[in-house]
Amino acid sequence: MPDRPTHVIRLCGWVACLSLLSLACCLIVPTPGPASELRQTPIVQAIKKVRSSVVNIRGEKTLATTDAQAEIKPGRRVNGMGTGVVIDPRGYILTNYHVVDGVRKIQVTGADGKTQIARLIARDTKTDLAVIKINPSKDLPVITIGTSSDLMPGETVVAVGNAYGYEHTVTRGIISALHRAVQVSDAQFYDDLIQTDASINPGNSGGPLLNVDGEMIGVNVAVRAGAQGIGFAIPADKVMDVTARLLASHIARNAWHGMALSAEAGVSARGLRVAAVEQKSPAAASGLRAGDVITAVDDIKTRRGIDFQLALLQRKAGDKIALTVRRAGDPITVPLTLATVPEQFKQSTDLAWTLLGLELAPIAAKKFREKHQTPYHGGLTVKAVRPSSPAAEQGIRAGDVLVGMHIWETVSMDNVAYILGRPNLATINPVKFYILREKETFYGYLPVILKTTQR
């Protein structure tokens, strides 16, 4: 077969070139601009929503015990890192207690790169939560708090934190399981945790676990040593209940209202129910009654306990607040003037009430022996338990008899004052307690909110 004429080949080449040129002319060269809507996924939007309310925490500490994950011997000075979330624009930040435990200088760096020194306000060792405070020059963005009551295994979640020191690291995963119990060390046990396969690494502790709406539904707390894709977070509802209690104890040093509050039941609840009103208190003087539902403090809505406590932060005795109250279905406004904390709460014999939430009374030795056939030499009757206190959370109730704390018997109020006033109390906190209930002996652990951490 004869060769094809070369001029035909050249012609085909030119046609091909012209076709490519025409196609190129039809293409529009994109110009730099905002990311397309397709790239603005719910996760991208969620991170944009919370980024400025997540902070990085660094500090140096001396290890008191062996770090099982890092295999570092006790007694060494190490550089620690973690994460926190802003819960109030005035600089109140929530994190894990183990992130700041033993740190002399807590360094907090925001999304803007500015670093400040924080102080420890309050902490709870049992749940491993703490509140720290910085003094910002302007109001800080606050994280949006969701609920953990409706979480579903398989739903998408996002973790944000200072992973291995890489600030604002974002990882995605799903909820693997709910209500996990995890023992991470001899001293630390967590119950009712969220399990996720979103990567949670050292440094993520204290950071938020988010849903796709950008709401915090948990606080990242632990990883499973030697396992991949297994991380844990404290559910947001539990976090907020504990944080509200921590802030209440902090506020109570400067202002007193005389109410015991409890959140209304149900996801759709909007308000805090007044469970009890102390006699001769500001709440009693204002006309508040048990059963009233507080829906706002001044212009701040109070759907749950944390809202109420944040509204009272930095208030002091003599300050006037206006409570919006729902009574028998009708809204009313109740003016209330905060007062100085009664002296009875400051006395050493009442440390059990202020630190534990227990009102105790001595029992005559003869009466104790007649009623209780036990080897204990005596005990203290529990007269009352403060709602939402450490004692209430441990299930202690009126009528129980406190017979021991840690290694000491509690025969008198002086015994309790001695235990709670010990300079090394932090090393035995939470304090093991023993109670008699009818013919049985029970024990548990009470997390004591130390006065030295509430400054």
Catalytic residues: 98, 128, 205
Q: Which two tokens stand for residue 417?
A: 């004052």
Alpha helix locations (H) across 161-304? 236-251, 282-286
CB count, 10 Å around CB of 211?
Answer: 23
Q: How far apart are CA 442 and CA 333, in angstroms?
A: 45
Alpha helix locations (H) across 173-298? 236-251, 282-286
Alpha helix locations (H) across 112-203? none
What SS3 class is residue 50?
helix
Q: Which two tokens stand for residue 131?
A: 């509140």
CB 358 within 8 A of CB 396: yes
CB count, 10 Å around CB of 81?
Answer: 23
Report CA 13 to chain centroid distance, whole Å: 71
CB 105 within 8 A of CB 117: yes
Length of the chain: 455
What SS3 class is residue 288?
coil
Of 387, 400, 412, the closest CA to residue 443 belongs to 400
